[in-house]
């Protein structure tokens, strides 16, 4: 069954346009309360990032949940993985995050977590959507839910993050720049690093409701690169607006993406005899990472794009490490969902244990040149496979790239875009062919 509202990462869109409206969120809160709370006394926790529309949607969800008889625990600004963690530790029946992750401030969305702090399975999303189609009803007054503010949630989450690396691992002597993207981690991420002993320089920690992800954070790591050089830091950490992604920067200002970070931790755990199974990437994972893992005899498999699909593959395989080049990494022996702070700590632990700089840890992985061009979508996604012009161009491009090249066309799960991605040995050829293919896709489906 195809979802009506849920995409690959919850419900997301432009604020004020259906379904990202206050009235829809009111109905969504009631539907979620009916399906997830089942009229019980356990609460649903709600956290949010720093975008201005979060206030409106928080109130709407709270009202809808109360109308269904569900109690609500309000966390305020809290990273997405922090909400997942607190959903478990507060014994809630579900968690809700109001966030559009790495998108601009004028977008927003809703993510759900189960009582175990994991993304909802498809059948539960279907049940919520089915409830949304029913008339809005309110339980009797004596059964209505109550709401409360959780005052110590930041401190709880900070201690949890610190506990994901061994007690004896100290960050003393390290100078770290942390870019919080003016998002949900602006208080907790610098505190975690400082309390572990690092000298911390914080940027992107002045949210005003409008500047989240604005030329900063993991989607614009050049801002961090400049700051690392300016402060003479050993390393830089860039998080996204809701804190589930991380990109890092070495002492020279070079950007280290999610594929490289995943390889660093996998290789270190293999060396320590602590790697259980292999690594799950996605169809977008760089071929260079696959080759580097192969040299170490570390099994590797590709899942569809989206952390929920990486998570599903890891669970099915019984493995613990997976992720995407975007920095959405999963360490299932440390966290139930992607966590930018926890992921950064896994890399910092390797640096400390091996006594090596970040640049030294990336020497064994040689990324293939990869180009991605986003084409705004106005046509139907279904036309992507049926277009003769696109199919003919793809075949011609694949022929020119040869056996070491790859072509990937896919619709974004979070924005109205077609992502045109090419990978190959020759950087200039990859760029040329990517532009040619993007032009064809634009003429067929784009603006």
Nearest to 139 by CA among 68, 65, 223: 68
Options 43, 53, 99, 101, the catalytic residue: 101
b/e per residue 198-227 (b: at least 16 CB within 10 A)? bbbbbbbbebeeebbbbebbbbbbebbbeb
Q: What is the signed CA dihedral for 288, 293, 297, 298, rounded to 10 degrees?
A: -140
Measured CA to CA in angstroms, residue 167 lies from 154, 195, 196 at distances of: 20, 12, 9
* Residue 101 annotated among the catalytic residues of the structure: yes
CB-based contacts of 131, cutoff 8 Å, min separation 6: 30, 31, 34, 35
Helix (DSSP H) and strand (DSSP E) numbers for the chain: 15, 18
Residue 365 has phi, psi (to 5 degrees) of: -115, 120
On the 0-12 / 13-18 / 19+ scale of CB atoms within 10 A, 18 is exposed
Tell me how far apart the alpha carbons of residues 193 and 187 are, in angstroms, rounded to a whole number: 11
Q: What is the DSSP letter of 322?
A: E
Q: How many residues does the chain have?
A: 447
Tell me how far apart the alpha carbons of residues 53 and 72 are, in angstroms, rounded to a whole number: 19
Tell me how far apart the alpha carbons of residues 16 and 312 are, in angstroms, rounded to a whole number: 33
Positions marked active-site: 101
């Amino acid at each position: 069954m195809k979802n009506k509202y849920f995409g690959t990462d919850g419900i997301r869109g432009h604020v004020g346009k259906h379904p990202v409206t206050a009235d829809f969120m009111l109905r969504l809160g009631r539907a979620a309360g009916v399906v997830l709370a089942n009229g019980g006394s356990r609460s649903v926790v709600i956290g949010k990032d720093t975008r201005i529309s979060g206030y409106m949607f928080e109130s709407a969800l709270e009202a809808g949940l109360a109308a269904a008889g569900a109690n609500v625990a309000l966390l305020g600004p809290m990273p997405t993985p922090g909400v997942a963690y607190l959903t478990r530790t507060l014994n809630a029946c579900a968690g809700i995050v109001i966030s559009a992750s790495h998108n601009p401030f004028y977008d927003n969305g809703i993510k759900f977590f189960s009582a175990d702090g994991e993304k909802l399975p498809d059948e539960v999303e279907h049940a919520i959507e089915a409830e949304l189609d029913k008339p809005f009803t309110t339980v009797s007054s004596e059964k209505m839910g109550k709401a409360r503010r959780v005052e110590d949630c930041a401190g709880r989450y900070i201690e949890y993050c610190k506990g994901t690396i061994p007690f004896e691992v100290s960050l003393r002597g390290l100078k770290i720049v942390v870019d919080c993207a003016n998002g949900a981690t602006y208080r907790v991420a610098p505190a975690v690093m400082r309390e572990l002993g690092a000298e911390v320089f914080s940027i992107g920690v002045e949210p005003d409701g409008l500047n989240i992800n604005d030329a900063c954070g993991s989607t614009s790591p050049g801002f961090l690169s400049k700051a690392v050089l300016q402060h003479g830091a050993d390393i830089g950490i860039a998080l996204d607006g809701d804190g589930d992604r991380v990109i890092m920067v070495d002492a020279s200002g070079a950007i280290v993406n999610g594929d490289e970070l995943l390889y660093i931790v996998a290789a270190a755990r293999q060396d320590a005899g602590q790697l259980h199974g292999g690594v799950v990437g996605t169809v977008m994972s760089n071929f260079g990472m696959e080759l580097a893992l192969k040299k170490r005899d570390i099994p590797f498999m590709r899942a569809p794009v989206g952390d929920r699909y990486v998570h599903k593959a890891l669970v099915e395989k019984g493995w613990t490490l997976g992720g995407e080049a975007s920095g959405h990494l999963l360490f299932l022996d440390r966290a139930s969902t992607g966590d930018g702070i926890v992921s950064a700590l896994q890399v910092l632990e390797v640096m400390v244990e091996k006594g090596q700089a970040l640049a030294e840890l990336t020497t064994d992985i040689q990324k293939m040149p990869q180009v991605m061009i986003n084409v705004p979508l106005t046509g139907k996604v279904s036309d992507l496979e049926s277009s003769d012009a696109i199919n003919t161009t793809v075949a011609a491009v694949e022929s020119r790239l040869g056996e070491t090249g790859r072509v990937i066309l896919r619709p974004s799960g979070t924005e109205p875009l077609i992502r045109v991605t090419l990978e190959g040995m020759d950087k200039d050829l990859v760029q040329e062919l990517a532009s040619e293919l993007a032009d064809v896709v634009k003429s067929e489906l784009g603006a």
